[in-house]
């Protein structure tokens, strides 16, 4: 069980988050929605352990993966090496299978700059799921994709989540994405932000 108990978060003198409390059960997908700038990504960074300057407590497993808005790939490494560096014990065959599952069969030697944005996002998903995370965190993973590619990515994400069943927390500004992918939708409102 992932337990999130944020009492407050400040940037300088400005309080951006008030009390934000929720749990995520194993295998459950929770979407966090709200207007731009409300603090959704801040909550994700706190839950992921990237931002530790807050009052409160987070209980999460060590086995977690993050999919950022941008693919955050190493441009000087091949697709296969991007997976193997993130998961040293994975093995080349298992890494190729992970690439196959996201539709990148035969692209293991391609560098990120040789891949389209949609393919780079697929590689980011492969990297996240290759480690079989207990907690998956996604920060607007479908933003800036054209509708057809976004639809393909949502379908792929649904299949990967169904296969590995991590507890999943994802941020989106699109209510339709939240309602499609999530078992539960949480909304941040007000300033400082709290759950509606």
Query: 28-32, 55-59, 83-87, 168-172: which range is least confident on average?
Result: 83-87
pLDDT band for position 185 (cuts 50, 70, 90): very high
Predicted pLDDT of residue 8: 95
Predicted pLDDT of residue 10: 95
| DSSP-derived 3-state class of residue 160 | helix
Q: What token pair was written down for 178?
A: 């939240």
Of 150 and 44, the one with more pLDDT: 44
**What is the distance between the alpha carbons of residues 125 and 107, in angstroms, rounded to a whole number?**
15
Percent of the chain with pLDDT over 90: 48
The full length of the chain comes to 196
Mean per-residue pLDDT, 112-135: 88
For 52-100, the pLDDT digits (tens) are 999 999 999 988 988 888 878 889 999 999 989 888 788 888 889 889 8
- Bridge pairing between strands 184-189 and 167-171: unpaired
**What is the distance between the alpha carbons of residues 150 and 83, in angstroms, rounded to a whole number?**
22
**What is the distance between the alpha carbons of residues 32 and 186, in angstroms, rounded to a whole number?**
5
Q: How far is CA 76 from CA 27, 51, 83, 109, in A?
A: 35, 28, 13, 11
The CATH number of domain 1-63+135-196, selected from 3.30.70.3000, 3.40.50.300, 3.40.50.720, 3.60.15.10: 3.40.50.300
Domain regions of the chain by residue span: 1-63+135-196, 76-131
pTM of the model: 0.88
For 124-150, the pLDDT digits (tens) are 988 988 888 899 999 988 777 777 878
């Amino acid at each position: 069980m992932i337990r999130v108990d944020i009492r407050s978060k400040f940037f300088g003198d400005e309080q951006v988050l008030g009390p934000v409390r929720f749990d995520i059960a194993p295998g459950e997908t929770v979407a966090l929605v709200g207007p731009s700038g409300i603090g959704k990504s801040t909550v994700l960074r706190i839950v992921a352990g990237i931002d530790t300057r807050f009052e409160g407590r987070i209980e999460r497993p060590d086995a977690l993966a993050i999919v950022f808005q941008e693919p955050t790939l190493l441009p000087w490494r091949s697709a296969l090496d991007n997976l193997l560096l993130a998961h040293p014990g994975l093995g080349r065959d298992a890494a190729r299978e992970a690439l196959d599952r996201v539709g990148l069969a035969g692209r293991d030697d391609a560098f990120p700059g040789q891949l389209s944005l949609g393919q780079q996002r697929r590689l980011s998903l492969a990297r996240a799921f290759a480690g079989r995370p207990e907690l998956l965190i996604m920060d607007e993973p479908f933003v800036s994709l054209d509708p057809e590619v976004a639809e393909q990515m949502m379908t792929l994400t649904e299949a990967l989540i169904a296969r590995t069943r991590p507890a999943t927390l994802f941020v989106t500004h699109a209510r339709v994405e939240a309602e499609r992918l999530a078992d539960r939708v949480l909304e941040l409102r007000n300033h400082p932000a709290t759950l509606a």
